[in-house]
Structure 1
Amino acid sequence: MDEAKAAVFGVPADALPITTKIVQTDSNLKDTRSEIQPLRTTMDLELCKEARSGDKNILCNLLPPEDASSKDPTEETPEGAAIQGNTSCLLKVTPEENTALHIIASRGHLEFAKEICRREISLLTAPNKRLDTPLHCAARVGNVEMVSYIIKLATEHDKENEVLRATNKENANALHEAAKYDRVDVANILMEKDPELASMLNCFEMSPLYLAMASRSLKVAKVLLQFSYWKEASPKSYAGPNKKTALHAAVLMSREITQDLLQRKPMLTKYADLLGRTPLHYAASNGDRHMAKLLLEQDSSTAYLADANGLFPIHIAASMENIPVVDQILKHCPDADELLDKGGKNFLHVAVKWKRLDLVRKIISEKPALRKLLNDQDNNGNTPLHTAVKNSDQGSVHFLLRDKIVYVNIINDDGFTPLDLAYEKLDEDLPFRTNSTEVCIASCLASIKACSSPQELHDLESGELSSDEAKEKPSGDDMFQERSSGNKAKRKPSASSKAKGKPSSSSKARRKQASSSKAKGNPSGDDKFKTSHQKKNDRSKENSSRNEGDEIGRQVNLARNLGIAAVLIVTVTFAAGFTLPGGYIADDHLGRGTAVLAKEYTFKVFVISDALALVFSIIATCWLMHAGTSIVDKHSRRRALSWAMRCLWAAFAGMCTAFGMGIYVALAPSCKRISIPLCIASLGAPIFAHVVANYNVYRLLGTVRIRQGYRQCIWPTIHLHDKKRLAHYSQPSRHVIIFLLLTFGTYAIVFLSAML
Structure 2
Amino acid sequence: MDAKLYNAAVLGDIDFLVQNKDKLVDESTPNNNTVLHLVSLLGKGICVTEILKMHPLLIRRVNSNGDSALHLAARNGNYDVVQELIRCAKSLDKEVESGIGFDKVIQRMRNECGDTPLFDTVRHNHFDVVEFLAQEDPKFSHTANNIGETPLYIAAEKGFDDSVAVILEKCTLPGYGGPCGRTALHAAIISNGAVSTRKLLVWKQSLINERDERGWSPLHFAAFFGRAYRVSQLLTVDKSITYIADNDMNTALHIAATRGEIDTAQKIILDCPDCCEMVNDSGQNILHIAFKYKKSNFAQYILRNYEAISATLVTQKDVDGNTPLHLMAASTCFAPLLVDHAMVDKNSFNNKNLTPLDLIEESEVKVHPVLIKNLLSAAGATLGFRNIRSIEEKDQDPNPLGKDKIREEIRKIGDSYNIVATLIATVTFTAGFTMPGGYHQSGDLNQGMAVLSRKPAFQAFIISDTMALLLSSIAIFLIFVSLWIDNISVLAKIQEHVASLILAAIGAMMVAFSTGTYVVLGESSALAITTCVIGVISIPIYFSNFYKIFNGIFNSDKVI
CA distance in 1: counterparts of 2:510 and 2:232, whole angstroms: 61
1:541-620 mapped onto 2 (5 Å cutoff)? 543-544=399-400, 547=403, 551=407, 555=411, 558=414, 562=418, 565-566=421-422, 569=425, 573=429, 576-577=432-433, 581-586=437-442, 589=443, 594-595=448-449, 597=451
* Corresponding letter in the other structure for 2:380: K
SS at match of 2:140: helix
Question: What is the TM-score with the length of structure 2 in the denominator?
Answer: 0.78
Aligned equivalent of 1:523: none
Q: 1:340 to 1:151 in 2, by over 3 A?
A: same
Q: CA deviation at 1:343?
A: 0.6
For 2:58 and 2:261, how far apart are their aligned partners in 1? Answer: 56
The answer to whether residue 60 in structure 2 is matched with residue 206 in structure 1 is no
Say whether the 8 Å CA contact 1:351–1:357 is kept in structure 2: yes
Deviation at 1:389, TM superposition (A): 1.6
Task: For 1:411 and 1:44, locate their aligned partners in 2 and report how far apart those are by CA, in whole Å.
Answer: 84
Provide the aligned length of Structure 1 versus Structure 2: 535
Which residue pairs with 1:474 in the alignment? none
**Offset of residue 278 of structure 1:** 1.9
Q: Which residue of 2 aligns with 1:345?
A: 284
Cα deviation for residue 203 of structure 1 reads: 1.1
State how far apart, in whole Å, the 2-side matches of 1:569 and 1:57 are.
90
Deviation at 1:663, TM superposition (A): 3.8
Cα 1:584/1:183, change in 2 over 3 Å: closer
Give 1:290 deviation, angstroms: 4.1
Find the counterpart in structure 2 of residue 45 from structure 1: 3
User: How far apart are the structure 1 equivalents of 2:365 and 2:62?
Assistant: 70
The residue aligned with 2:357 is 419
Corresponding residue number in structure 2 for 1:257: 196
Deviation at 1:617, TM superposition (A): 8.3
Cα drift, residue 330 of structure 1: 3.2
Q: Indicate yes or no: 2:376 matched with 1:445.
A: yes
CA offsets per residue over residues 665-714 of structure 1, 9 Å max, x none?
A: 9749878999899999999999999999799999xxxxxxxxxxxxxxxx
Partner Cα separation in structure 1 for residue 256 and residue 511 of structure 2: 56
Alpha-carbon shift at residue 134 of structure 1 (Å):
0.9
Is 1:113 the counterpart of 2:53? The answer is no
2:111 equivalent to 1:168: yes
Alignment-derived partner of residue 56 in structure 1:
14
Conservation of the 8 A alpha-carbon contact between 1:409 and 1:418: yes
CA contact (8 A) 1:440 1:696 kept: no
- The residue number in structure 2 matching 1:154 is 89
Tell me if the contact between 1:581 and 1:665 (Cα under 8 Å) persists in the aligned partners. Answer: no
**Inter-partner Cα distance in structure 2 for 1:173 and 1:695:** 53
Q: 1 CA distance for matches of 2:79 and 2:463?
A: 92
Which of the residues 410, 417, 430 maps onto 2:348? Answer: 410
Distance 1:283 1:689 in 2: 36
Partner of 1:123: 58
Q: 1:590 to 1:145 in 2, by over 3 A?
A: closer
Instruction: Check 1:591–1:658 CA distance in 2 against 1; reply closer, same or farther (3 A cut).
Output: farther
Q: For residue 185 of structure 2, what is the amino acid of its counterpart?
A: L
Aligned to 1:479: none
> Alignment partner for residue 275 of structure 2, among 336, 342, 357?
336
Please tell me whether the aligned partners of residues 515 and 532 of structure 2 are also in contact (alpha carbons under 8 angstroms).
Answer: no
Structure 2 distance, partners of 1:465, 1:669, is: 66
**CA distance in structure 1 between the aligned counterparts of 2:450 and 2:263, rounded to whole angstroms:** 69
The aligned residue for residue 476 of structure 1 is: none
For the structure 1 residues 684 and 468, does the alpha-carbon distance in structure 2 shift closer, same or farther, using more than 3 Å as the test? farther
Q: Counterparts of 1:623 and 1:323 in 2: how far apart (Å)?
A: 41
Counterpart residue identity of residue 314, structure 1: L
Distance 1:426 1:670, change over 3 A: farther
**Structure 2 runs not aligned, ≥5 long:** 96-101, 552-560
- Quote how far apart the aligned CAs of 1:657 are: 11
Structure 1 letter corresponding to 2:112: K
- Greater mean deviation of Cα atoms: 447-456 or 598-607: 598-607
After TM superposition, give the deviation of residue 208 of structure 1 in Å: 1.9
The CA deviation at 1:172 is: 0.9
C-alpha deviations, 1:571-626, integer Å up to 9, x for none?
A: 8636844878542433xx37696437599598899899989998998898788778
Maintained 8 Å contact 2:123/2:154: yes
Q: Which amino acid is the alignment partner of residue 306 of structure 1?
A: A
Contact 1:87/1:119 (CA < 8 Å) preserved in 2? no
The residue number in structure 1 matching 2:330 is 390
Q: Which residue of 2 aligns with 1:477?
A: none
Decide whether the 8 Å contact of 1:131 with 1:168 is kept in 2. yes
State the distance in 2 between where 1:196 and 1:564 align: 74
How far residue 337 of structure 1 moved from its aligned partner, in angstroms, is 1.7
User: Which piece of structure 1 moves more, 260-269 or 407-416?
Assistant: 260-269
- Mean alpha-carbon deviation: is it higher for 315-324 or for 666-675? 666-675
Call closer, same or farther: CA 1:594–1:334 in 2, change over 3 Å. closer
Choose 160-169 or 259-268, whichever is displaced more. 259-268
Alignment partner for residue 468 of structure 1, among 384, 390, 394? 394
Counterparts of 1:286-305 in structure 2, within 5 Å, are 286-305=225-244
How far did residue 659 of structure 1 move? 5.5
For 1:191 and 1:695, the matched residues in 2 are separated by 54
Query: Cα distance, 1:418 vs. partner?
Result: 1.8
- Answering whether residue 185 of structure 2 is matched by residue 247 of structure 1, we say yes
Give 2:265's aligned residue.
Answer: 326
Q: Sequence identity of aligned pairs in percent?
A: 25
**Residue-by-residue CA offset, 1:440-472 (whole Å, 9 max, x unaligned):** 21111111222221427x78xxxx946828xxx
Q: Which moved more, 1:120-129 or 1:196-205?
A: 196-205
Structure 1's unaligned 5+ residue stretches are 1-42, 64-85, 429-435, 470-536, 699-756
Q: Secondary structure at the match of 1:178?
A: helix
1:226 match: 169
On the 8 A contact 2:436/2:519 being kept in 1, the answer is no
Alpha-carbon separation, structure 2, partners of 1:360 and 1:353:
11
1:573/1:655 contact within 8 Å kept: no
After TM superposition, give the deviation of residue 570 of structure 1 in Å.
5.8
Alignment of 1:263-302 (within 5 A): 263-302=202-241
Provide the alpha-carbon RMSD of the alignment.
4.7
The residue matched to 2:382 in structure 1 has which SS? coil
- Aligned equivalents of 1:697 and 1:173: distance in 2? 56
Pick closer, same or farther for the CA change 1:283–1:51 going to 2, 3 Å.
same
Partner of 2:556: none
Quote the Cα distance in structure 2 between the aligned partners of 1:221 and 1:654. Answer: 59
Q: Amino acid of the residue matched to residue 135 of structure 2? A: E
**Counterpart residue identity of residue 468, structure 1:** K
Tell me the TM-score normalised to structure 1 length: 0.59
Question: Which structure has the greater CA radius of gyration?
Answer: 1
- d(CA) in 2 for partners of 1:684, 1:385: 39
8 A contact 1:198–1:209 mirrored in 2: no
Change (3 A) 1:409 1:112: same
Could you tell me how far apart the structure 2 residues matched to 1:296 and 1:204 are? Answer: 31
What is the CA–CA distance in structure 2 between the aligned matches of 1:454 and 1:362, rounded to whole Å? Answer: 33
